[in-house]
Structure 1
Amino acid sequence: MGSGFVLPGRRILTNAHVVADHTFVLVRKHGSPTKYKAEVQAIGHECDLALLTVESEEFWDGMNFLELGDIPFLQEAVAVVGYPQGGDNISVTKGVVSRVEPTQYVHGATQLMAIQIDAAINPGNSGGPAIMGDKVAGVAFQNLSGAENIGYIIPVPVIKHFIGGVEEKGKYVGFCSLGLSCQPTENIQLREHFNMRPDMTGVLVNKVNPLSDAHKVLKKNDIVLAFDGVPIANDGTVPFRNRERITFDHLVSMKKPGETAIIKVLRDGVEHEFTILLRPLQPLVPVHQFDKLPSYYIFAGLVFVPLTQPYLHEYGEDWYNSSPRRLCERALRELPKKAGEQLVILSQVLMDDINAGYERLSELQVKKVNGVEVENLKHLCGLVENCGEESLRFDLDDERVIVLNYQNARLATSRILRRHRISSAMSSDLIEESSAMSSDLIEEQATNGKVEAEVACSS
């Protein structure tokens, strides 16, 4: 259950977490008992926003849309409208804006601008508009646990970025990243070490994502002085409105994918200006897995899955301390080296004679299959399925090794799947890719046969 409101163009805006993993969505108007079927037009989990459409003409009769306003100033009053728990009728709570800054969006685990207000935002409020005057100042989406009357709303710039991308590309396009890990330069000795003059301010580059366009031009130990002409302070902030400051990440995230930015850099005491293309970047280990089924591959009772943060969250609320330390560190800190890379792990062993003695080797990363480095789950599946050797060897993390007789292991796989009532040895996404590869191969063979026949005829 959640709230939503109508935008121009017969669209309903709500939170992504209201319709995440949806199978069927119904909406009803305020004051009406009738429910109408809705379709999810676009969903952005990072910004926790979703657009819905309703085909029924009856639903739109007498419906008025709301207009988007601007970011409210501190101490300005807003009214949050929605259907929070505790009743079935519409609820209006009032509050004032107490803070505007980048905040962790719980649903998508991203840092984007948010507005903090002192109005209660409870389950059911999610997706409802925060209204200032006669315009929307934001969308209610989360509260601060353990605190009284501290709620957060998604501001208009984030909403417009989401909607603009959908209107331009027909789908959610994401939020840009420079791909940099930066450190403040507030310590004077640090600044002197990197040849920063007293009038210079900026942040120190610690790491650059190999998949980002910045990787081609920026280096570790560069000092980023300005972004698009806006000077960056030693604490990583830039000016924002009336004597307020905000982290320069906000300027990056508000860029459209494919746009460029001019980055001013100090390198070895010399100033440079670089033009860098900005686009969304995917982490090595996905932070969420909404609206998709998990990927898996089972062979001889060994269950292989790509590592994701939701997998680690299965260890409970204290997953950071209770999940396998090595996997947790890699999930939070490692960067991808090439596109499509995944950390594949042996998540568990379904016991059988064929794998006896290997049952303790779960929760380890699979590094190689028969000496070939594993790129992702699809690659591992291909290496195993197309194995032409008598033995199959898996090299795991911590220098552990699994060796199986390939033909015996193949026979055991179907037996183990029947025992555990598992319908398929691989997830649907791998089956689809395998089918596509097979059809391509058949087509290639048919083409080759046709060419050979034509050659034979002509000769």
Structure 2
Amino acid sequence: MQQGKVVGVAFQGLGGADAQNVGYMIPTPVIGHFLKDIADGHYDRYMDLSIATFPLMNAAHRRALGLPEDDRGLAVTTVGSASVCAGKLRSGDVLLRIDGLDIQSDGMVQLEGERMQMAEVAERKYKGDKVKFEVWRDRKLVTEEVTFERAWPYTHQATSYEPPKYVVFGGLLFQPMNRNLVATYQFANLRVFHHFAHFIEEELYKERDEVIVLTALLPDPINTYLDEFREGIIRKVNGTAIRNVKELAAAFTKQADEYVIEFEGHGRPLVLQRTDLEAARARIRQRYNVLTEQFLGEDATKEAR
């Protein structure tokens, strides 16, 4: 409380030998945004422009672009194909104004009497809202309007507070990669780290929505000598490309004499016979107390109900 008003909700504190009287709070603007967002019963999350920008404070750079010396303008360097700005903004555009607010050359705007990052304007929007840009493009002034049709869909690099998704098949544990998984397993496979670090930058989401990793093997005769595939990233199952954990579960559900699993960077596939799988299923579940062979996310659980 400050001057009789709520300024935030405390949610974490540090004490003991590490620190004293150190706490963290969720500010009221974030709380207000959340409450308004879920008023319809569905949380759409924060909106995001999903573009990369570069400050235009260098005088020579500004002259080369034909910009006046008015300390306005933020250069667009990248527009992701999954961004809400795709088809509206381009690499090389210079953003001059957003919703009528001047964008300074360092990317800041004057909002409610304070200097804030331009992204704050977008983050205050809700699904379905629009934002209008004044853009300097090819030495001409144009106007572009962007609609927030959805939140940025690829959030694996953020900390997740949802139960981990997984599929157990033939004693093999498959999980979609996210920050929690990477921190927990400390993968030795550099390919996994590359997909984690460059998933957005290299637009790897064009090939898959989730990066599915073989994280563990529950030892059983059916998966003997398969340790070389540990930490492998799944590409295909029986010739079908796998984009996410739901597609992986569906591929394993289909009846087949054998299941051929291809991994990124492996010269040979992992092959499991259906007859062996049927014989091993109950044995593995009992030995390792596997109560549920898959969890595909809370949304999938609700749909199943």
| 1:347 has 2:215 as partner | yes
Q: How does 1:330-409 map to 2 (within 5 A)?
A: 330-335=195-200, 337=205, 341-388=209-256, 390-409=257-276
Taking the aligned partners of 1:387 and 1:196, their CA distance within structure 2 comes to 63
Q: 1:161 to 1:300 in 2, by over 3 A?
A: same
| 1:309 has 2:174 as partner | no
Taking the aligned partners of 2:93 and 2:254, their CA distance within structure 1 comes to 46
Deviation at 1:273, TM superposition (A): 0.9
Taking the aligned partners of 1:161 and 1:304, their CA distance within structure 2 comes to 36
Alpha carbons 1:368, 1:374 under 8 Å: kept: yes
In the alignment, which residue of structure 1 is the partner of 2:193? 328
**CA-to-partner distance for each residue in 1:157-178, whole Å, 9 max, x for gaps?**
22222222233x1344422111
Taking the aligned partners of 1:352 and 1:280, their CA distance within structure 2 comes to 43
| 1:204 has 2:75 as partner | yes
Larger Rg: 1
Deviation at 1:360, TM superposition (A): 2.8
Alpha carbons 2:171, 2:223 under 8 Å: kept: yes
Taking the aligned partners of 1:298 and 1:370, their CA distance within structure 2 comes to 17
1:164 to 26, 30, 36: 36
Taking the aligned partners of 2:129 and 2:303, their CA distance within structure 1 comes to 37
Amino acid at match of 1:331: F
**Equivalent position SS for 2:45:** coil
Aligned residue pair count: 298
| 1:227 has 2:98 as partner | yes
Alpha carbons 1:298, 1:413 under 8 Å: kept: no
**CA-to-partner distance for each residue in 1:261-310, whole Å, 9 max, x for gaps?**
101222232222111112422325262332x4322112222211111211
Using the size of structure 2 for normalisation, the TM-score is 0.82
Where does structure 2 lack aligned partners over 5 or more consecutive residues? Answer: none
Amino acid at match of 2:76: V
**Equivalent position SS for 1:218:** coil
Amino acid at match of 2:291: S
Task: For CA contacts below 8 A with separation 6 or more, give which structure has more relative contact order.
Answer: 2
Amino acid at match of 2:289: R
| 1:426 has 2:297 as partner | no
Alpha carbons 2:246, 2:296 under 8 Å: kept: no
Taking the aligned partners of 1:301 and 1:356, their CA distance within structure 2 comes to 10
In the alignment, which residue of structure 2 is the partner of 1:299? 169
Taking the aligned partners of 2:214 and 2:111, their CA distance within structure 1 comes to 48
**Equivalent position SS for 2:227:** coil
Deviation at 1:396, TM superposition (A): 1.2
Question: Which deviates more, 393-402 or 138-147?
Answer: 138-147
Amino acid at match of 2:128: G
**CA-to-partner distance for each residue in 1:126-184, whole Å, 9 max, x for gaps?**
xxxxx2222222333456997776655433322222222233x1344422111212222
Deviation at 1:391, TM superposition (A): 3.8
Taking the aligned partners of 2:194 and 2:63, their CA distance within structure 1 comes to 32
Taking the aligned partners of 1:357 and 1:340, their CA distance within structure 2 comes to 28
**CA-to-partner distance for each residue in 1:194-230, whole Å, 9 max, x for gaps?**
4434336322223323333211212223222221111
What root-mean-square deviation, in Å, do the aligned CA atoms of Structure 1 and Structure 2 show? Answer: 3.3
Alpha carbons 1:284, 1:334 under 8 Å: kept: no
**Equivalent position SS for 1:183:** strand
Alpha carbons 2:210, 2:244 under 8 Å: kept: yes
Taking the aligned partners of 2:285 and 2:268, their CA distance within structure 1 comes to 23
